[in-house]
Amino acid sequence: MTTDNEPLQDVKQEPVRLSGILVHPTSFPSPYGIGDMGKGAYDFIDFLKATSQHLWQVLPLGPTGFGDSPYQGFSAFAGQPLIISPEKLMELKLLSEDDFWDMPQWDPRKTDYGSAIQFKTRLLRTAFQTFHHTPDKALLEEFERFCEKESDWLDDYCLFMAGKDYHEGRCWLEWEDDLRMPTPEVKKIWKEKLADEIQYYQFVQFMFQKQWMELRDYAHENDVEIIGDIPIFVALDSSDVWANNKLFQLDTKGYPTSVAGVPPDYFSATGQLWGNPLYDWEYHETTGYEWWISRIRRQLSMVDYLRIDHFRGFEAYWSVPADEETAINGSWIKGPCEKLFLAIQKQLGEDLPILAEDLGIITAEVEQLRDRFHFPGMKVLQFGFGDLEDHNYIPHFYTTDNCICYTGTHDNDTTTGWYQIQPEKVKDRIRRYGNTSGHNISLDFIRFCFASIARYAIFPIQDLFELGSDARMNTPGVATANWNFRYLAEDLTEARKNWLLQTTKLYDRD
């Protein structure tokens, strides 16, 4: 006990040490062909709580287009219709059991996007028709409030999607001239023409948001925070580019003059030609970076942290002439650097919960930009142990706890699959480093990750399941057979729960 005259003793603060799992909602167990925000999602959060995990990381949550990549969405603001739960729609009496008469039998471990899209779209349109006649006045009022509150992005997105339907899914660059770069008067005409279809897309976004916010609230009730993810660039065939063409490097007809990518790196000898239109950063500056501020604000209304993919592009981005076939003949162009984040801070506050994906060709200037705003960077164990000369990603060389240690990311092979193809000298180094046989290598990597000084430790759920390369989420540069991994409810076994809980406690991440 102290008296008023005695000095207070300094209380030593324990460092923040959190851990969690990377898994996209499309991977959750579900009988409807693709993971969703139904029972599988809630069961996963229960598993996080039971194992003292406090972080859940997802991939971008937007509506996907060709190739099903969450990094090539139709909108930087909208949600993914495919993860809307039919169970939740039934609870609102917008669907009945009779509406599932044509449900296919799917492989529960893989998403067949073609059939899943067809089936879920029919369910959503059925639910929309029922919504027209619902006696639930509170739900109708909630819908009206949503449409009004989110109109800044929702109106253009829904008109864009209705326009795609009208034009049989074709890219907006193939639409008639007046609608390719429409005036407000032209938009008004088309809004009247496509009114029913526009309202359908409003309904879909309303249901996505309603279900997502309920799931997010459930996560918070169980001491779980969500790490969201956005790509730095947006897709050419998106409402963002169609409705805001001045924000991008386009010619007078709407075609990109230069496109995004990265030079040759760990993943590809010819670089990666993403093809996304590049930003006209000078024009963004004249607006006070209004579009970016709105984008970040929207995402942070749905998640607790926000990982920005390809963070280095804010310092300098790889610009490739639009007619090139690979990314080799590009050049580095200076980005907005600190001006963008100072503008975001001015509107959203100084402590931005942003995580920087700082992989690839990282310069001192990129590190300075990251560190100026105290954004945690990424440490990927596969990179550290795979390159005998690269010390940046090996745990005992970490110089700060302000980072996230990953076993691997969605772009990496699973740790088990990766280890199997490594040369013997790499395997030997790992075995000696961890005093391990290598027979349970993905669990070893989770231990390395948890044992590091990194503030945040995250692993893909495939590594907990000790799965091989066939469970990989994405192979960069490969256009097909990505994003389709799913797991089963019975994969979350008591043995795995107990191992993860004990490992979490051992390294003080509970």
Catalytically active residues are: 309, 357, 411
φ/ψ region of 137 (left if φ > 0, alpha if ψ in -120 to 50, else beta) reads alpha
Which residues lie below 8 Å from residue 204, measured CB to CB, with a gap of 6+? Answer: 81, 84, 124, 128
Q: Give the Cα separation of 77 and 157 in Å (integer).
A: 9
CB 173 within 8 A of CB 252: no
- CA–chain centroid gap for 402, Å, is 21
Distances (CA, A) of 46 to 27, 81, 146, 231, 411: 16, 24, 29, 29, 27
Among all chains, which residue has been given the structure tokens 């090139």? 324
Short-list 363, 354, 359, CA closest to 384: 359
**DSSP element (H, E) containing 377:** strand 377-380
- Burial class, 93, CB count within 10 angstroms (exposed 0-12 / middle 13-18 / buried 19+): middle
Tell me 48's DSSP state: H
Among all chains, which residue has been given the structure tokens 């369910």? 123
SS3 at position 52? coil
Q: Which residue blocks in 51-103 are alpha helix, DSSP H?
A: 86-91
Which residues lie below 8 Å from residue 446, measured CB to CB, with a gap of 6+? Answer: 407, 459, 463, 464, 500, 503
Short-list 46, 45, 49, CA closest to 58: 45
Encoded tokens for 80? 């993914």
Short-list 51, 32, 83, CA closest to 461: 51
Q: What is the SS3 string spanning 224-281?
A: CEEEEEEECCCCCCCHHHHHCHHHECECCCCCECEEEEECCCCCCCCCEEEEEECECH
- CA–chain centroid gap for 91, Å, is 28
